[in-house]
Amino acid sequence: MGRGKEGQEVSFRGIIKGRWPGWSHNQLERANQMDGIINVKKEAGMTSHDVVFKLRKILGTKKIGHGGTLDPDVVGVLPIAVGKATRMVEFMQDEGKIYEGEITLGFSTTTEDASGDVVERTPVEAPLDVAEVDRIIAQMVGEIEQVPPMYSAVKVNGRKLYEYARAGEEVERPVRQVTIYDFTRTSEISYEEGLARFCFRVKCSKGTYIRTLSVDLGQKLGYAAHMSHLTRTSAAGLSLDDALTLEEVAEKVAQGDLSFLHPLEIGTGDLEKVELTAEEVGEVQVGRFIPVESEARELAAFYHGRLVAILEKRDNLYKPRKVFLIESVIQ
């Protein structure tokens, strides 16, 4: 719900359907064809599903999805796809993400972050060798194996791991391969009452648990550890500097301002881009394979800056996997 000009409550679903007198015809037309990507700043205490649920009410549409789950305690960029852009969600999730956070050495927790109960204490009684810390951090860059935390949404035998954890049950967890593109200490190491803390920045692939990365780093340094703070600063090519809170999105909607919607082209993220000719666009639109000089498994195909399709490699040709531009471009 929002506030009208006289302070009355206004249904955002009503706004989209045209019952908001402050909107022009063009604004209403655009709202009824709402497609795009929203750069939402998720605040602490909310799940990613909470954000989607609230945005459905704000925007008056059910066709919404998010581009990468964030834990409730984590603040930061949550890309939201609306309308036709929901077909880009899987590619938005594939793109590398950037986080800034803090690691605390000295005790571990049940959840691997600051919200859990203490499991083990290993007091830090002497200053750490800074060069050794940085050397071990550097060793963790590249493809690594992770065992997801018990308090996570990874499913084992049809149940989420956190369901086992809450029931006090242990279960064998699958080992997963993830990629750490960059991992850097970004602050001095501080010491207080048997604890050591420092900040970091990491760019990683989808499926990476930064909590687990923090715990694993602590183990390599010889200490129990946990992730004490985390912010996602970038995802799907969107930056935290430009992100809007749900309240800010709601205010813009109430004013008839949909400028927060980014074009779905942003969702192509790290995919290799290729420009098609008008003839190739026509071939792709009817599902035909086309030759493209590339070794990439998937390509984002464009025509004059507009996303035509996502192409998938099949032998020496590329097949349209998802087509977005359906109108003819041949003059």
pLDDT tens profile 247-297: 999 999 999 899 999 998 888 888 899 999 999 999 999 999 999 999 999
Q: Are residues 104 and 189 in the same domain?
A: yes
330 domain-assigned: no
Q: Are residues 127 and 219 in the same domain?
A: yes
- Assigned token pair, 282: 């026509």
Specify the pLDDT at position 164: 82
CATH number for the domain that contains residue 303? 2.30.130.10
* Active-site position among 71, 73, 117, 242: 71
57 pLDDT more than 80: yes
State which of 216, 233, 250 marks the end of a domain: 233
| Cα–Cα distance measured from residue 284 to residue 184, given in angstroms and rounded to the nearest whole number | 43
Count of C-beta atoms within a 10 Å radius of residue 326 = 8
Q: Are residues 307 and 262 in the same domain?
A: no
Structurally, how many domains does the chain consist of? 3
Q: Are residues 155 and 65 in the same domain?
A: no
Q: Are residues 24 and 82 in the same domain?
A: yes
| Cα–Cα distance measured from residue 301 to residue 312, given in angstroms and rounded to the nearest whole number | 10
Q: Are residues 245 and 216 in the same domain?
A: no
| Cα–Cα distance measured from residue 24 to residue 30, given in angstroms and rounded to the nearest whole number | 10
Least confident of 107-111, 155-159, 178-182, 204-208: 155-159
315 domain-assigned: yes
The distance of Cα 71 from the centroid of its chain, to the nearest Å, equals 11
Q: Are residues 229 and 104 in the same domain?
A: yes
120 pLDDT more than 90: yes
Q: Are residues 160 and 255 in the same domain?
A: no
State which of 233, 249, 283 marks the end of a domain: 233
| Residues in contact with 51: Cβ distance below 8 Å, sequence separation at least 6, in sequence order | 40, 42, 66, 78, 80, 246
84 domain-assigned: yes
127 domain-assigned: yes
Q: Are residues 187 and 109 in the same domain?
A: yes
Specify the pLDDT at position 1: 37
Residue 115, domain extent: 97-233
pLDDT in tens, 135-155: 999 999 999 999 888 777 778
CATH number for the domain that contains residue 169? 3.30.2350.10
- The percentage of residues in the chain with a pLDDT greater than 90, rounded to a whole number, is 66
Statement: the pTM of the whole predicted model exceeds 0.85: no
Q: Are 95 and 270 in contact (CB under 8 A)?
A: yes
Is residue 71 part of the annotated active site? The answer reads: yes
The position carrying tokens 């709202």 is 31
Smallest CA-to-CA distance from 143 within 184, 117, 116, 176 is with 176
| Cα–Cα distance measured from residue 134 to residue 141, given in angstroms and rounded to the nearest whole number | 11
- Please report which residue ranges of the chain form alpha helices under DSSP H: 12-16, 25-32, 48-59, 89-94, 130-139, 161-166, 210-221, 246-254, 278-285
Average pLDDT, whole number, for the chain? 87
Q: Are residues 105 and 222 in the same domain?
A: yes
Q: Are residues 24 and 74 in the same domain?
A: yes
Q: Are residues 86 and 185 in the same domain?
A: no
